[in-house]
Amino acid sequence: MFDWKAWRTEYAQRIELALVHAIPSIDDSLDQLHPAMAYAVRAGGKRIRPLLIYAAWQLGQKQGMQDITQVDEVAVAIELIHTYSLVHDDLPSMDNDDLRRGKPTTHKVFNEATALLVGDALQAQAYVILAKMQIPAKLKIELIEELAISSGMHGMCKGQAIDLANVGKILNLETLEKMHRLKTGALLNCAIRMGAILGGVDLEKRKILDQLAQDVGLGFQVTDDILDATENSETLGKTAGKDEQADKPTFVSFMGLEASQAYAKELLDRSFDALDTWGSEADPLRAIVQWAFIRNS
């Protein structure tokens, strides 16, 4: 019987330790950059993207990379990219939020200019980590390309741009889904793809994982919108109702709460069906998917 809590604890501890080593606390009287980077990275969070990397890697572990410390490096890289995106997303020029992961946002603790540099530096450091990995060059380039495409102008940044450009506008479902497949889903998709690459999962099965990742990424955002409409700031760890106050399009504002909940269930069921391909080997990934949709523990 798969023990989700034990698995999650083991791999969450791995990524937390790896993040500490990647961004150690260094007091530098000349500037605040390093302490601010450490603050942003150590603010906690679900660490779902690194966990997805470990779980997808385990699907094909026997055919792929055996050294888990190298998987740790890739997990750190994607979490640094995710953290940079949150730091920038919270800035007054973006979503203007004061609370993230239950703590004051980076620009509130330090200042806006430092927060901007924190995001820039975290993004750069993610690629430094991948570039310095002791793995075959072809594999290294594939990982770097996956992360760059998913986080750049064809992925996360594009989704954020669509979001900012459509404040106060009524979007159709196709555009709303596209925005969130990019803004939230692209990096989740990347985590699963990078884990599959590390694990040596064959190309045909990667196609199944690609569709799974798209459904999980979209479902994750639908769930976020539902929680934003139904939970308080203390429970969420960030400002509740922020999107509604800013007149930003969400699934709940578009289709209503009940329809959004039904859509999330449809995406969850579809994700579980895809994982039947692997049987019990996919138990870690199956548990993360359920957690991403239900957020129960």
CATH code (residue 283): 1.10.600.10
* Structure-block tokens of residue 83: 């953290």
Q: pLDDT tens digit string along 46-90?
A: 899 999 999 999 987 656 667 899 999 999 999 999 999 999 999
Taking the CA atoms of the chain, what radius of gyration do you get in angstroms?
Answer: 18
Cβ-defined contacts of 165-170 (< 8 Å, 24+) = 166/248, 166/249, 167/246, 167/247, 167/248, 168/247, 169/249, 170/249, 170/254
Q: pLDDT tens digit string along 237-277?
A: 656 566 666 677 788 988 899 999 999 999 999 999 989 88
By mean pLDDT, which of 22-26, 130-134, 270-274 is the weakest? 22-26
More confident residue, 129 or 43: 129
pLDDT of 112 reads 95
**Where are any strands of DSSP class E within the chain?**
99-100, 103-104
10 Å Cβ neighbour count for 60?
Answer: 21
- Say if residue 224's pLDDT is above 70: yes
- Say if residue 231's pLDDT is above 80: no
The rounded mean pLDDT for the chain is 88
For residue 116, what pLDDT band results from cuts at 50, 70 and 90?
very high
Mean pLDDT score, 12-32: 87
* 147 close to 78: Cβ distance less than 8 angstroms: yes
Q: Is the pTM value of this prediction over 0.85?
A: yes
If one counts the domains in the chain, the total is: 1
Task: Quote the domain boundaries for residue 26.
Answer: 4-294
Closest C-alpha to 177, from 232, 250, 112, 109: 250
Q: pLDDT tens digit string along 105-115?
A: 999 989 999 99
Residue type at 58? Q
For residue 281, what pLDDT band results from cuts at 50, 70 and 90?
confident
Closest C-alpha to 83, from 55, 54, 50: 50
**Cα 121 from Cα 117, distance rounded (Å):** 6
Give the Cα-Cα-Cα angle 202, 182, 239 (nearest 5 degrees): 125
- Say if residue 32's pLDDT is above 70: yes
- H-run or E-run covering 238: none
* 180 close to 217: Cβ distance less than 8 angstroms: yes
pLDDT of 203 reads 86
pLDDT of 11 reads 96
Closest C-alpha to 63, from 197, 200, 198: 200
Q: pLDDT tens digit string along 182-208?
A: 988 899 999 999 999 999 888 888 889
Q: What DSSP string runs through 241-291?
A: THHHHTT---HHHHH-HHHHHHHHHHHHHHHHHHHTTTGGGGHHHHHHHHH
**Which DSSP state fits 25?**
-
- Say if residue 297's pLDDT is above 60: no
Strands 99-100 and 103-104: antiparallel
More confident residue, 294 or 243: 294
Q: pLDDT tens digit string along 36-53?
A: 999 999 988 889 999 999
Mean pLDDT score, 143-168: 92
Instruction: Give the contacts of 109 (CB within 8 A, at least 6 positions apart).
Output: 36, 39
pLDDT of 151 reads 96
Distances (CA, A) of 246 to 163, 178, 196, 254: 11, 20, 38, 15
Taken in order 282, 58, 24, 155, the sign of the CA dihedral is negative
**Cα 297 from Cα 292, distance rounded (Å):** 10
pLDDT of 135 reads 93
